[in-house]
Structure formats: structure tokens, C-alpha cells
Structure 1
């Protein structure tokens, strides 16, 4: 299937009653009825940023995924836990159509300063100009409905491809909510939740590697719509794994993402 133009679609449409209905791009690879967690994380960031206010930047978001996230509709509600001149902290919950708690998150936001001459470790982004178009790591799901990968633009830097193992790629994704321009960090969320797929150690037909959580740390607000993930996954015979990703915009690193994975071997016919 050809990749649809991400500028023409959005992951969610918000109803008059405040429910976020998942569009085709929000659908994950595991089930036609459930969302990919990345777009839902964008909804969490959206709620948290509204509570914390624009003068503070979202610097850390941790979300636990407790149940599958229904495409049929999600309610997102948040609480401002604390706000000072330096920081703000929030708690955000995501409920399904029947009221069940599907995800819960905490976030930290820090006030921006204008400091001069701050030393740092220089780091270049992955090659964008030499990157070539490709397919997302999970181009086909366990169903035949349109899904996340069908609406995601991918480019691979020289020497990279979609095969299993540690991988770096560039990604551009749709808007989070129809009719809204996402904040830079909201726009980063879909990619942040893809590390387990990007750096999978086996194909989906051999092993399930769903993440039960996501921690996104951001030290600089990303710019533009193309972001890169430099990802690696570690799997253990205990059935538990971990994925770690360094995230970039075209100017350099902007943060990191960490996922805990639950591994499910797929029975071979």
C-alpha cells in the first residue's frame, strides 16, 4: 500500500463531547480495534501541555499502558499536581469508551531560560540529505485494515534499512488531532513510541514485542516535522525486553525514549 500524505490526515478527530475517535492512522499493528500507543502519547502530551502552560517546556513524560487503547474512542483528562516558577507536574489518565482506565501518565515541565555560552557535547544528527525513502519497520500488521505504517513517511540514512537489529531512521507523521497544529513535542510522540519496532530483533511473524510503557525525555524542543530515531533493543529469555532510542531533529539530538517490552513467541504453523 502506498503511504498516504501525512499532511492530509490526522490520528484523531475530537467529537463535540470531547471524545477522541481514532482514524485509520491511529490503528496499531496488533489489532484492528486498537490504537498504536504513539499517537495516544501525543494526546497525553497535548493535555499535559495545556495544564502546564506555554512558558514551561515538557521535559519528561512517562506513560503506563494498562489496557489496549480502543480506536472507537478515548477520553483524556489531566490534573496539575504542582506549579512553581521553575517547574510544573501533571498527571494524565486515558479512559476507553466503557470508562476503563487504559493508560496513566505523569509529566514534568521546566521553565525556559536564555543562558549564554553554555558548554555541551556536540552531536550531529543522522544524515538526512542522503537518506532514501523506505517502509516502516512493521509494514504489515496482524490484520488487513489501514494502520499507522500506511500513513508514515520513512527515510533511511546511508547504510540503514528496515531489517531487524539496531536501526536509525527518519520519520514524518500526521497531525495528532484533526484541525490542530501539534506542538513540537506532541509531533515527536509517535516516533518516540516506535523504538521497539525500529530495532526489533526478530520479525513480527516470529516474536511479539509490545511495550507496556514509554518514557520520553526532551532537553530541546524539536524543530520541523522530520525526526530521527537511533534505536536499539535488548531481549531476554525471561520474556522481558527494553528498547532505547536517541531522538533527533535535523539540527541534532532533542531527547531520548525508553520502553519496557513484553515478548511473546509466535507459534509457527
Structure 2
């Protein structure tokens, strides 16, 4: 009888962690940072269909790097959790901290299970407050660990180098255009410090804007508005930025959130498709 191959638990966990880290590092980075009026999300992502950042609830947004199908499943689960909790209790009971705890439990269970591979994802759950001091940013790794981040965070790709650059260039109270240029500048630098140009067409940008009059604070920045903030010439025949941004935000949690306001039962099938 052949002796079964033995791998120590420590080695098995180390191998799973190494597998997940390599998968995440292959993706392009995402930067999340605070600015004067809220929280800014910036990613190098030329796709207009496969989003790395999305609305979860009124004041909460989600960003991710790694395998799209895996973090999309987590995003949809987060939307359902938020809708049901907001309907069952109250809208202010849906918080980024509660959502981050749910994600941590899910990722931790998957990572420690020997029956399936670990998720190759890292997540950010952010909630904009009424003031800068109330903003919350949580980073979750593939093994379910949570970090409470302050002011800025980068994940995926060369995240360590980007974080070091953000330490030198980010400051509190930046206006939106300056914060965006800081994010694009650090995304355009590789590990050796060489700089490359990233255009508006290569970017996915969104904000949680505390100054918006409506209850939902998430907004995508696209088209002419994005080009203007970057100091580029606006593309011809571009869809108006506010229309495109509000349309994208209307996907997401809007359908189920509206059900909560109208007193109807939330539908899991109403989860957004970004």
C-alpha cells in the first residue's frame, strides 16, 4: 500500500497564500483615497463593462482586484446583504464595517477550506461620512484579514510601490481634480519609477460624494467630465458625463433600495449588473 503524501498544515496554508498572492499581483492596481468632498476610486481599466468598482448601498462602495468572476460573486452577495438588512431594520443600519465583517467571514472560510481553492481577490469596502473624519475604508485580503485604512490604500499589481508614493504625494483636503491627478500619477509609475501616460480612456473612476443632495452618494466619472479633470481635450460626440454617471449609479443597488423605500419585499434577482 502506498503511503499517502503528507504536507504539514503550515506548508499547505503557505502554498495557498502564495497561490492567491500571485493571482492578485497579475492584475492592475486600484487606488482609493480621500479628497475634500468624499472618497475617490481610480483603476486602470479600459473595459466599460467589467467594472472593478461599484455601488453597494446609499453611502457604501466596493472595489476589487483579482479574478473578475470571484469578486463579482462577492459584490452581488454584498448588495443582497445590504438590501435585506436595510429593509428589515433601517437604512442607517447598513454600514461598511458590517459588510466588511461579512466578507471577512466568507473569504476566511474559503481560504481555510481544503475542498476548494482560495479566492484570488482583494477587496475594499468604503463608506463616506458626513465629514472627512467619518469616512471609513476597509481592505480585505484573500484570507479574510481586515485592515482599517486611513486616507489612502492601493491593492493589486505593484501595490507596495504605489503606497510608498502615496505617502509622499497625498494630503488631506485635496480637491477632486488634484486627488485624481495624484492617483493617476502613482498608477502610471512602475516598480522602477519609470512614468507612463494613462489617458482617460484607460481609466475607471468613481466617487462617493458627500455633497450630493440625493441619498445615494456613488457616482461614476466618465467622458467629458473625466477628461476635464485630467486636463485633456474632451472627446467628440461623448455622452454627457452626468447622464452616464447617474445611469451607471442607477444600476447597482437602486432597484432594491427603491423597494425598501416603498415597503415592498426586496428581490435577490434585483441585484445590479454594472
- Normalised by the size of structure 1, how large is the TM-score? 0.22
- Normalised by the size of structure 2, how large is the TM-score? 0.21
Q: Which has the larger radius of gyration?
A: 2
Report 1 or 2 for greater relative contact order, CA contacts < 8 Å, sequence distance ≥ 6.
2
